[in-house]
Amino acid sequence: MTIRIGTRRSLLAKTQSGHVAEMIRERLGREVELVEIVTDGDRTQAAGTPVTEMAPQGTGVYVSALRDALLAGEVDVAVHSLKDLPTYPHPGVTLAAIPVREDPRDVLVARDGLTLGELPTGARVGTGSPRRAAQIAALGLGLDVVGVRGNVDTRIGKVRSGEYDAVVLARAGLARIGRLDEVTETLDPLQVLPAPGQGALGIECRTGDELVDALAALDDARTRAAVEAERAVLATLEGGCAAPIGTLAEVVEGDGPDGGDELWVRAVALSPDGTAAVRMSASGDPATATEVGTQLAKEMLAEGADALGSEAGHDA
């Protein structure tokens, strides 16, 4: 039986879904076809509506139509950018696999090959992400951070036309569509932490379907542990995917006598203008990734109660 993969219509989404299709063909020996689905996020992106106006914290705007098609039996598998997935479970849907992650960092595409630090005071930097905007503002570079939506071509085109001096994008997306040569700087996570789950793909299917077990062969344990920790931070801080919260987790080889893997998590919660921020880190066993992320977020909430108030978790 051919496996039908639901995908958004954008070049990046179809490229990501095509990557999953190839993995299914190669590892599971199954035939696949892509089924294009239009989401609310795609419709409002075409209309230029800011993502934060579409749903609480912009959560799930690219996801619900794919899940609806999955539950209706129109497709068998849905492929998402994991950073778009809400942190709460969806009835009838199982996150069956998280493949090996692409580089999760953000990148700058700027005029004249400039880096973030080389941009002049007042330079216009485009991003649709409050997380990126707050962290760039926190650097104190005097840049004019302005909103932008659209696909990669649209955003980079605003730099080429001179409308913006630079735009900030996810490195993983540019890598997947073969456009890393346009990057002028990969941003250090010490300056700008990525969104929870950035660079990872989420492969969903119907709960109880035979594909749940089959798709597990595509899962990468280290990536899943890292992403589970990041999403636990986000869930505990009660932010959505567009909230000013950045976090990055990595599973590395431990240096103890047993040589086991170790999980490291860094996170930041900021006020929308970047003037207040709480940054913390933690480490632990990858097997308890969710607990590590949850505890880190609780400590951040306790530390940031005065500095951030409710904005730590609810900024849109």
Farthest CA pair distance, the chain: 58
258 carries an active-site annotation: no
Residue with tokens 């960092």: 105
CA pair distance 225, 194, nearest whole angstrom? 16
Tell me the CA end-to-end span of the chain in Å, nearest whole number: 43
* Cβ 316 vs Cβ 130: under 8 Å: yes
Adjacency order of strands within the sheet including 166-170 = 144-146, 124-126, 166-170, 106-110, 185-186
CA pair distance 26, 9, nearest whole angstrom? 24
- 3-state class of 225 per DSSP? helix
E strands of 147-244, at which residues?
166-170, 185-186, 201-206
Tell me which of 42, 68, 76, 84 is the catalytic residue: 84
- 3-state class of 114 per DSSP? coil
The 10 Å CB-count burial string (b at 16+, else e) for 45-83 is beeeebbbebbebbbbbbbbbbbebbbeeebbbbbbbbb
Adjacency order of strands within the sheet including 277-284 = 245-253, 261-270, 277-284
Helix (H) or strand (E) holding 251: strand 245-253
User: What are the residue numbers of the active site?
Assistant: 84
